[in-house]
Amino acid sequence: MKALLLLHTLLLVSFAELSTLTVDDELVILDGNLSAGNSEDNCVVNDPSFGIKEEEVVEEQEPPPVSGHFNPFQKESLMDYPFEERLVLRPLPRNFLLASFQFNITSDELSIDKGASHFNSYAHNTVFPRSISPILEHTNTRQLHLRFTHGLWDAESWGQLPHNGSKSGGTGVEIWAVLESDSKQAAFAQWISLANSLSGLFCTSINFIGSDKTSYPVFSFQPSGENSLPLFNENSKLYLVRAALANEPICTENLTPFLKLLPTKGKSGVASLLDGHKVFDSHWHSLSIDIETRCDDTSCKYHMEEFVEMVVHVPNALDRAEKPIPKPVEEHELRCDESKPHDVFECFPLPESTDREFELSKLFGRYILGTNLVSRSPSRVCAEVGPNWSALVKVGNTYFSTDDNCFEIKGDELHDLYLQTSDTAQVASSEDVPIYVSRSLTGYGQDGGGLRTVFKNPSNETVSLVYFESLPWFMRLYLSSLKIESEDGLQLDDVITNTFYLPAIDRQRPTHLEYNLKVPPNSTFALSYQFDKALLKYAEYPPDANHGFDIESAVVTVLSPLKYEMRTATLLLSLSTPDFSMPYNVIILTSTIMGLAFGTIFNLMVKKLVTVEEADKSNGSVGSRIIFKFRERIKAIFKKKVPLFDESKKNQ
Ligand SMILES: *[C@@H]1O[C@H](CO)[C@@H](O)[C@H](O)[C@H]1NC(C)=O
Ligand SMILES: *[C@@H]1O[C@H](CO)[C@@H](O)[C@H](O)[C@H]1NC(C)=O
Ligand SMILES: *[C@@H]1O[C@H](CO)[C@@H](O)[C@H](O)[C@H]1NC(C)=O
Ligand SMILES: *[C@@H]1O[C@H](CO)[C@@H](O)[C@H](O)[C@H]1NC(C)=O
Ligand SMILES: *[C@@H]1O[C@H](CO)[C@@H](O)[C@H](O)[C@H]1NC(C)=O
Ligand SMILES: *[C@@H]1O[C@H](CO)[C@@H](O)[C@H](O)[C@H]1NC(C)=O
């Protein structure tokens, strides 16, 4: 027996060893020509061009000699659709890298005059996503803006957000739209229909948007461009509607629908780099979609801009690609501070090395699979690097460089980008943000609290901005408690030039606050006000009631000296929460008592204490005996007689 057990254990151990070995073998990436988690491996391995080493770098100046390649898809007549794509890479201070994927899609001409022939007309979608246009038509949407953002943008060291902040939302999901409608009620119905449709399309909880989350911005979110706001019906008006879901989780299932909207479906062009794991492992990421209806004198078209942007920490991302399972750094790779005591056991690490060279394929785990095949202009990759960086594109065996570090991807070969620098601190300079705004909750009671927003203008120019805030109805705001704290002796009238305030209605409407502010140069002040916390109904609490309630970010739109948009962080408000374990406890206790009572009574009714001898005397099978006894017992109770057990046995 013991021997058997031993054998078994041995077998188990050896099996475990075997399996760990295979796991390691699979995960360690030995060659540069294979990348982790790449579904396109088949395409990569067969390509002979990727066995080359760094030493083979060939620097050739313009013109990029790839233009002569034969590409069956480049025939103008076949594939010439209004689709543009671009990848912009910008190194940020402290070894971060901003990767910005941009896609432009324009639809065919819209048939505006929808009469009876509408249902007979056939819809022809070329590159414009087929799933979107029916939604827009059904809900009469003229502009649609969607933002999925997560992470922290470190404005103090990274500078301004990309695209002047106009393409990134607050943490979570943000959506706003311009709808054409007869009345506000109709517009709201269209809005809810739009939200429900988009919720299914993008796998998010946008369908949870109701009237209690919807606001109608007055000064902020003003649509840009005159000709992008056509009225198709003279009698109707345009409504700007907005809602946000704070802290809504954003994950890979949200990226897939984004890629499916592209004509390339992420299978070619720069979108082939996008891999959910890499995007959502980043420090900050933002997915956005803007759709506008653009009209000229005769016709209208939908114009869609899609952005996928992320900030990755380059050393971490490379480490993770090389060693998916973290392992301690080998001794010879340790960088110890030689001025301090160091030996085998002791090492004060030096700061990160400023030398860095990497390839995009290492960072994203994929290659650019050729150009996008459908576009009228080729895919472009641009590296906005500082003077001490070199950026080379790798096509086949060869590396090429250009003057402006922008490369056009032609042909269907695999492309890669190689970036190298001796000083990672030398990055292309980014503009400072015009203003810093941070918001926090104050107070500690269960019944009330305060909201405090600090504005800091470090520049030497007056900044004028619009501050937009939409607060849930269960924060009952006292606008009369609005106060300003300032060391420079600023008064409320000095900074607030205009206010829009729409108080909340319980369960129907959020508080809607908009200020026009003027922030004097080189000044800091704080605006604060108090609120009461409402009591919610039992069913209004989310399943994780003790987590608290996410309050969406405030939106700051800077109007001058430059156009810029930014969001504050979201807040977590804790409301008084009923003890949800109480009903549970009551149910448990009641059930226990009932169980005890029932058991006792049942036993009293059906059981009789007999000695072993008596039991032995009775014959027959156990089952039939028990059933018989039970029947007799019941009979006896109903006859209100003293049960005569022995008699019945005799009868048997
Ligand atoms: C990488 O490329 C080299 C040279 O072509 C080849 O010998 C090697 O097998 C490749 N590695 C893998 C894993 O494909
Ligand atoms: C997309 O279109 C806008 C103008 O509508 C333009 O500014 C932008 O450069 C375009 N993006 C790409 C990637 O071509
Ligand atoms: C940002 O704003 C500045 C000044 O208004 C403008 O010159 C610049 O083109 C804008 N950048 C983008 C990406 O919109
Ligand atoms: C590039 O780096 C070298 C030393 O590594 C330095 O002397 C030079 O000033 C740098 N160039 C620029 C433009 O910063
Ligand atoms: C602000 O400072 C910059 C230089 O830092 C200067 O060029 C500019 O004229 C100043 N503006 C004002 C309004 O003082
Ligand atoms: C800003 O104000 C502080 C004092 O409040 C002063 O020391 C500093 O020099 C000022 N900076 C500018 C650029 O005016």
pLDDT at residue 231, as a whole number: 77
Whether residue 301 sits in one domain with residue 189? yes
Residue whose tokens read 């620098």: 421
For the segment 99-152, what is each residue's pLDDT rounded down to a tens digit? 999 999 998 887 665 544 455 455 667 888 888 888 988 898 989 999 999 998
The contacts of residue 536 (CB under 8 Å, 6+ apart) are 474, 575
pLDDT at residue 558, as a whole number: 94
Tokens of 220: 């902020």
For the segment 159-202, what is each residue's pLDDT rounded down to a tens digit? 999 999 999 999 999 999 999 999 999 999 999 999 999 998 99
Q: Is the pLDDT of residue 59 over 60?
A: no
Selection from 102, 389, 111 nearest residue 271 by Cα: 102
Q: Long-range contacts of range 436-439, CB-CB < 8 Å, 24 or more positions apart?
A: 436/155, 436/156, 437/467, 437/554, 437/556, 437/566, 437/568, 438/568, 438/569, 439/553, 439/554, 439/568, 439/569, 439/571
Q: Whose CA is nearest to atom 8 of ligand 4?
A: 388
Buried b (16+ CB within 10 A) or exposed e, 354-370: eebebbbbbbbbbbbbb
Residue 63 lies in a domain: no
Amino acid found at 468: F
Question: Is any atom of ligand 2 closer than 6 Å to the C-beta of 84?
Answer: yes
Whether residue 141 sits in one domain with residue 209? yes
Whether residue 567 sits in one domain with residue 614? no
Report CA 110 to chain centroid distance, whole Å.
Answer: 32
Question: Is any atom of ligand 2 closer than 6 Å to the C-beta of 301?
Answer: no
How many CA atoms are closer than 13 Å to the CA of 6, on its beta-carbon side? 3
How far apart CA 542 and CA 578 sit, in angstroms, is 12
Q: Report the nearest atom of ligand 6 relative to the CA of 488.
A: 5
Report DSSP letters for 258-273, one per residue.
HHHTSTTTTSSBGGGG
Residue of 388, 390, 420 with the most ligand 4 atoms within 8 Å of its CB, for mutation: 388
Tokens of 82: 């209004």
How many CA atoms are closer than 13 Å to the CA of 530, on its beta-carbon side? 8
For residue 459, the 8-state DSSP code is: S
Residue 375 lies in a domain: no
How far apart CA 401 and CA 63 sit, in angstroms, is 9
Domain final position from 554, 573, 592 = 573
Whether residue 543 sits in one domain with residue 612? no
> What is the distance in A from the centroid of ligand 2 to the CA of 86?
9
How far apart CA 101 and CA 77 sit, in angstroms, is 27
Strands 141-151 and 172-181 turn out to be: antiparallel
For residue 569, give its domain range. Answer: 436-573
Question: Is any atom of ligand 3 closer than 6 Å to the C-beta of 164?
Answer: yes
Report which bound ligand comes closest to the CA of 462: 5
Q: Whose CA is nearest to atom 8 of ligand 1?
A: 51
Tokens of 636: 């006896």
Per-residue pLDDT band for 222 (boundaries 50, 70, 90) equals confident
In total, how many domains does the chain have?
Answer: 3
How far apart CA 55 and CA 73 sit, in angstroms, is 34
Residue 598 lies in a domain: no
pLDDT at residue 32, as a whole number: 37
Whether residue 507 sits in one domain with residue 637? no
pLDDT at residue 321, as a whole number: 85
In three-state secondary structure terms, 55 is helix
**Average predicted confidence (pLDDT) for the chain:** 81
Q: Whose CA is nearest to atom 10 of ligand 5?
A: 460
| Mean per-residue pLDDT, 462-475 | 94
> What is the distance in A from the centroid of ligand 5 to the CA of 459?
8
Report which bound ligand comes closest to the CA of 460: 5
Residue of 460, 461, 523, 562 with the most ligand 5 atoms within 8 Å of its CB, for mutation: 460
Whether residue 621 sits in one domain with residue 559? no
Q: Report the nearest atom of ligand 4 relative to the CA of 388.
A: 1
Q: Whose CA is nearest to atom 2 of ligand 4?
A: 388
Where would I find the beta strands (DSSP E) of 275-328?
A: 284-295, 300-313
Residue of 420, 423, 427 with the most ligand 4 atoms within 8 Å of its CB, for mutation: 423
Per-residue pLDDT band for 230 (boundaries 50, 70, 90) equals confident
Domain final position from 327, 346, 374 = 327
Q: Is the pLDDT of residue 75 over 80?
A: no
Q: Whose CA is nearest to atom 14 of ligand 2?
A: 84
For the segment 548-570, what is each residue's pLDDT rounded down to a tens digit? 899 999 999 999 889 999 999 99
Domain final position from 295, 327, 359 = 327
Question: Is any atom of ligand 4 closer than 6 Å to the C-beta of 426?
Answer: yes
Per-residue pLDDT band for 638 (boundaries 50, 70, 90) equals confident
Whether residue 110 sits in one domain with residue 184? yes
Residue of 88, 98, 161, 164 with the most ligand 3 atoms within 8 Å of its CB, for mutation: 164
pLDDT at residue 118, as a whole number: 52
Strands 379-383 and 83-92 turn out to be: parallel
Whether 274 and 281 have beta carbons less than 8 Å apart is answered as no
> What is the distance in A from the centroid of ligand 2 to the CA of 124?
23
Residue 141 lies in a domain: yes
Q: Report the nearest atom of ligand 6 relative to the CA of 487.
A: 5
pLDDT at residue 646, as a whole number: 52
Q: Report the nearest atom of ligand 4 relative to the CA of 426.
A: 14
Residue 512 falls in which region: left (phi positive, over 0), alpha (psi -120 to 50) or beta: beta
How far apart CA 441 and CA 250 sit, in angstroms, is 25
| Mean per-residue pLDDT, 39-52 | 34
> What is the distance in A from the centroid of ligand 5 to the CA of 94?
28
Q: Report the nearest atom of ligand 3 relative to the CA of 164.
A: 1
Amino acid found at 13: V
Whether residue 115 sits in one domain with residue 210? yes
How far apart CA 652 and CA 647 sit, in angstroms, is 9
Per-residue pLDDT band for 24 (boundaries 50, 70, 90) equals very low
| Mean per-residue pLDDT, 3-30 | 42
For the segment 421-436, what is each residue's pLDDT rounded down to a tens digit? 888 878 887 888 999 9
pLDDT at residue 343, as a whole number: 79
Whether residue 554 sits in one domain with residue 621? no
Highest mean pLDDT (candidates 388-402, 525-539, 629-643) = 525-539
Question: Is any atom of ligand 3 closer than 6 Å to the C-beta of 562?
Answer: yes
Residue 398 lies in a domain: no
pLDDT at residue 8, as a whole number: 52
Residue 185 lies in a domain: yes
Whether residue 564 sits in one domain with residue 616? no
> What is the distance in A from the centroid of ligand 6 to the CA of 490?
16
Which residues does ligand 5 sit against, CB inside 6 Å?
460-461
pLDDT at residue 67, as a whole number: 40
pLDDT at residue 423, as a whole number: 82
Cβ-based burial of 74 (10 A; exposed 0-12, middle 13-18, buried ≥19)? middle
Q: Whose CA is nearest to atom 13 of ligand 3?
A: 163
pLDDT at residue 37, as a whole number: 34
Tokens of 228: 């992008």
Residue 457 lies in a domain: yes
Q: Is the pLDDT of residue 651 over 80?
A: no
Q: Report the nearest atom of ligand 1 relative to the CA of 30.
A: 13
Residue 557 lies in a domain: yes
Whether residue 640 sits in one domain with residue 533? no
> What is the distance in A from the centroid of ligand 4 to the CA of 423?
8
pLDDT at residue 640, as a whole number: 61
Whether residue 563 sits in one domain with residue 501? yes
pLDDT at residue 198, as a whole number: 93
